[in-house]
A and B are shown apart, each in its own frame.
Chain A
């Protein structure tokens, strides 16, 4: 599965760098390197209050501090 994180201007200011870092750590922690691919993208036109993240075809709005929760709930729960 592919997780795409927006690195455009406003998401950058909302902390996309931290979100990317956190996700990279989590993927490594759970040993999912072969199964989860992290990708960057410019604006995906789903700008909301947080950093825009797409997992498969669903969009999420993350903050650095909610990233782990997202990862556990949305990524781990599924069969990856």
Chain B
């Protein structure tokens, strides 16, 4: 089975703290994705250092083939000892998902992972083991498409404790809420955002503890092909369009001249519109068989802005997602890359458009290469596989 993962997380800092005492590492290996969530004891700088050390040691060692026993041993022997409590301590969860569908889950003292399959909560049969005197739970199993996993720090299950709720949100209620909302088909990022927002609300905006929600979704590979820019050599027009049209993928054309090339090679008509859903972005057009046709550089600049905000995870409030759902070309390209894509293939023509080399225009249109490169970087940060072919 060929599967992909969509992994993302969101952390809330304990109120008044500048640093988070939870730390998440997401690592891609040749044959798997690893998600690590560590929660350092205490809060602030000390917790942050403990969690960072723990997640980095786990990540680096697992990446180099170490066993979980070796990792735990190393952590126990390495973490600095807290002067107050005389212990070195950080809880952690590790979820490793292999491309062939095998999965490995390890937990040490974190709230247990929420595992959802086919709209229901799925029990996990853990094996308890003692490593270096620590009780570690582990489980090996097979994932399927559309499975969803939620890892969390204990700040989540304690949300609202002593304030809105006597005992906090509790694992059971988080799991129910997660199951209820899982059917909406949100991306991992949006789902983590939703769950952490609920925690923040229960804390009334003043989290009593560092709170982290990490989400891993199992998806099928989703390919998006994006063609932008006319090829340097017009003889390549047909070559690039043929490659662009190959295989099962969503297809986007960004650029007026590019759209004209696609229409000419495919012998199809372009239908443009005057529907300016956003006055700053030129309207989109329609070519039969292509999922989205937009203007080039202005649209892609907007797309890059939206992708960046998403990748940074800053200010991802309801307003952001409303913006993403809008009907202008920039939002539509961004939404496709964010929500409907695990593999992004870009076909980029390098020809310089003479009309774009105009210093009198209020916007620098000669930045296509630069934009493409930045979109690549941002999409990679978001965990997408990106390829670029230049023509």
A contacts, CB < 8 Å to B: 6-10, 12-14, 16-17, 20, 24, 38-43, 47
Is B283 touching A40 in the complex (CB atoms < 8 A)?
A: yes
Name the A residues within 8 Å of B283 (CB-CB): 7, 40
CA distance A28 to B298 in the complex (A): 30
- Chain A residues with CB under 8 A of B257: 8, 42-43
A13→B363 contact, CB < 8 A: yes
Residues on A with C-beta less than 8 A from B365 are 9-10, 13
Other A-B pairs, 14, CB within 8 Å; known A7-B295, A43-B256: A8-B282, A9-B295, A9-B296, A9-B353, A10-B361, A10-B365, A12-B295, A17-B276, A24-B274, A38-B274, A41-B270, A42-B256, A42-B260, A47-B355
Q: Which residues of B contact A17 (CB under 8 A)?
A: 276, 279, 282
**B29 proximity list for chain A (CB < 8 A):** none
B79 at the interface (CB under 8 A from A): no
Pick the contact of A13 from B274, B298, B354 — CB < 8 Å?
Answer: B298
Distance of B189 from chain A, by nearest CB (Å): 30
Check: B272 CB closer than 8 A to any chain A CB: yes
* B305 interfacial by beta-carbon distance below 8 Å: no
Task: Assess the A12–B282 pair: CB atoms within 8 A.
Answer: yes
B295 touches A8 (CB 8 A): yes
Q: A7-B282, A12-B282, A42-B285 are in contact. Are A47 and B260 (CB under 8 A)?
A: no
Tell me whether A9 and B356 are in contact (CB under 8 A): yes
- Category for how many chain B residues contact A: 20 to 34
Q: Is B297 an interface residue (CB 8 A)?
A: yes
Q: Which residue of B lies closest to A43 (CB)?
A: B256
**B276–A8 CB distance below 8 A:** no
Give bound CA distance, A40 to B259, whole Å.
Answer: 13
14 A-B pairs (CB sep. < 8 Å): A7-B256, A8-B282, A9-B297, A10-B353, A10-B355, A12-B295, A39-B272, A40-B273, A42-B255, A42-B256, A42-B260, A42-B270, A43-B256, A43-B260
Chain B residues, Cβ within 8 Å of A42: 255-257, 259-260, 270, 272, 285, 295
Chain B residues whose C-beta falls within 8 Å of the C-beta of A8 in the assembled complex = 256-257, 282, 295
Q: What separation, in Å, do the CA atoms of A41 and B293 have in the docked complex? A: 12
Q: Which of A6, A7, A12 has the most CB of B within 10 A?
A: A12
Task: Contacts A42-B256, A42-B285, A47-B355 given; indicate if A13 touches B362 (C-beta within 8 A).
Answer: yes
Closest Cβ–Cβ distance, residue B164 to chain A (whole Å): 49
Which residues of B are found within 8 Å of A6, using beta-carbon distances?
256
A41/B282 in contact, CB under 8 A: no
Per the bound structure, the CA–CA distance linking A24 and B275 in Å amounts to 13
Tell me, in angstroms, the Cα distance from A47 to B256 when the chains sit together: 13
Whether, in the assembled complex, B358 has its beta carbon less than 8 Å from a beta carbon of chain A, the answer is yes
**Minimum Cβ distance to chain B for residue A78 (Å):** 23
Contact of A41 among B272, B298, B361, B362 (CB under 8 A): B272
User: Residue-by-residue, is B274-292 near A (CB-CB < 8 Å gives 1, otherwise 0)?
Assistant: 1010010011010000000
User: What residue of chain A has the Cβ atom nearest to residue B258's Cβ?
Assistant: A42
Q: Is the CB of A43 within 8 A of B355?
A: yes
The 9 nearest A-B residue pairs measured at CB: A42-B256, A47-B355, A8-B256, A40-B272, A12-B282, A43-B256, A10-B355, A13-B361, A7-B282
Residue interface bits B245-281, CB-to-A below 8 A is 1, else 0: 0000000000111011000000000101110100100
The answer for the CA separation of A17 and B274 in the assembled complex, in Å, is 8
The 8 Å CB contact of A10, one of B259, B272, B358, is B358
Name the A residues within 8 Å of B256 (CB-CB): 6-9, 42-43
